[in-house]
């Protein structure tokens, strides 16, 4: 009986995710500030500005 309940819960979870795209899921789990910061870092990485990323990482480790 438990196995059936677990399978139904997993199926419901998968169905609920099927209607969402990646941005919608991200918005529901991550705050806007974190999304903006991550977007900034990825754009710096794309533009090969690694020194700015590393310098900021060093500052956050010292806190």
Element (H or E) spanning 63, and its range?
A: none
63: its two tokens: 């806190």
> Could you tell me the pTM of the whole model?
0.44
36, two tokens: 């903006």
More confident residue, 18 or 31: 31
Cα–Cα distance list, 43 to 1, 15, 39, 54 (Å): 49, 33, 6, 14
Indicate the domain borders of the chain: 23-63
The reported pLDDT for the residue numbered 59 is: 58
**How many angstroms from the chain centroid is the CA of residue 25?**
8
Whole-number pLDDT of residue 56: 61
pLDDT of amino acid 2: 84
- Residue 61: predicted pLDDT: 52
| pLDDT tens for each residue of 20-54 | 777 777 777 888 888 888 888 888 888 877 676 56
């Amino acid at each position: 009986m438990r196995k059936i309940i677990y399978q139904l819960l997993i199926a419901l979870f998968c169905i609920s995710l099927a209607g969402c795209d990646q941005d919608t899921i991200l918005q529901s789990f991550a705050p806007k500030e974190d999304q903006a910061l991550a977007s900034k870092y990825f754009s710096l990485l794309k533009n090969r500005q690694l020194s700015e990323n590393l310098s900021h990482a060093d500052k956050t480790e010292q806190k």
